[in-house]
Amino acid sequence: MRKILALALALVFSASAFAQTPSVTTTIDDLTPTTITASFEMNENCTKYHILAAATGEMDQWSAMFGTPLRDLVISWSLGFEADTTYTWTEMVPNTEYIVYVVAVNATDTSEVLTTTCTTTIAGGEGASVVTVELENITESSVIMTATPNDQTAKFLDGIVEKAMFDEIGQDSLMAILLEQPYWLYETDHWEWLDLTPGMEYYAFAIGQNAAEQWGEMTLVPFATLVAGLNQAQSNEITLYPNPATNVVSLQNAEIGSLVEVIDIQGRVLKALEVTSTNQIIGLEGMNSGLYLIKTINGEKTFINKLIVNE
């Protein structure tokens, strides 16, 4: 009788222990070159779970470096959820194998690390890589740069370099420096570059590779930071088109009779004219590549627009 009772108690204990084991089912819903989307479904014994995605081998390296069990590391670095959910990781590296880690818990138990392996898709195509560059909010010491790759670009590099340095070392030497420790980008890069020198000429640049690892042409956009102390008020009404410009630029929405001055980065007035049309054409002949200011004066109102000239 005692043996039967002991066996029954053992079975009850075993069933209870099994019932306490929390778990989560992971389903990979979608993969792109830079995102992983996965759904997570809790079993009835799970009250919370932790999720994390990392390149294959990365978490094992961190675990060995810190001397911390993988499960503890996943819990401390992860996102926690208390209900079924779908989550998307962004800024992943294309064509790279990742592991999605899950640790499920309840009031009395914690699961082992549950893993699901997936691979992001290949980016780009076999056509020419082209990365466009746009600049805005140029100040004495900063500029906001947006580098946008086309659909053939698999990865790209971008940055800011002093024009004098680029002219001295050339593109090949610049590329050699960049490739010593490349910081690869895969999606549109919107970045504010700080600590620039006032009144300095720069190039904003970008260059990319296609899926066959063939380089495209480097995009170079010249600009210059403003001279310290120069009035930087900008017009929200008067616009320039095109900008950057080459031969002529159209000053739009200025009031007829206004005075217009074209000013270089040293503050010198290169041209002065009176507005005779709401679509005033300004010739740019004889002007070197770089940044200029278009100052429009109408009575007590003064508007400043920035113009980039490309030869």
* Letter string b/e over residues 134-170, b meaning 16 or more CB atoms within 10 A of that residue's CB: ebeebebeebebbbbbbebbbbbbbbbbebeebeeee
The pTM score is: 0.65
The Cα 6–Cα 23 span in angstroms is 29
Per-residue pLDDT in tens (0 to 9) along the chain, 311 residues: 455 545 444 444 444 444 578 999 999 999 999 999 999 999 999 999 999 999 999 999 999 999 999 999 999 999 999 999 999 999 999 999 999 999 999 989 999 999 999 999 999 999 999 999 998 888 888 989 999 999 999 999 999 999 889 999 999 999 999 999 999 999 999 999 999 988 888 899 999 999 999 999 999 988 888 776 544 444 447 888 888 888 888 888 888 999 999 998 778 899 999 998 877 889 898 898 888 899 999 887 888 888 999 87
| Integer angstrom CA distances of residue 11 from 5, 16, 18 | 10, 8, 11
The Cα 7–Cα 16 span in angstroms is 14
Cβ neighbors of 6 (< 8 A, separation 6 or more) are: none
Task: Identify any residues that bridge with 77 across adjacent strands, giving them in sequence order.
Answer: none
- Residue 296 identity (one-letter amino acid): T
All structural domains of the chain, each given as residue ranges with its CATH number in brackets, are 2-119 (2.60.40.10), 131-224 (2.60.40.10), 239-309 (2.60.40.3080)
Do residues 286 and 220 touch, judged by C-beta distance below 8 A? no
Nearest-10 crossing angle of helices 70-77, 58-66 = 110
For position 3, what pLDDT does the model report? Answer: 54
For position 65, what pLDDT does the model report? Answer: 93
Please return the burial class of 50, using the count of CB atoms within 10 Å of its CB with bins 0-12, 13-18 and 19+. buried
For position 8, what pLDDT does the model report? Answer: 47
Q: What is the dihedral of CA 47, 53, 56, 60, to 10 degrees?
A: -60
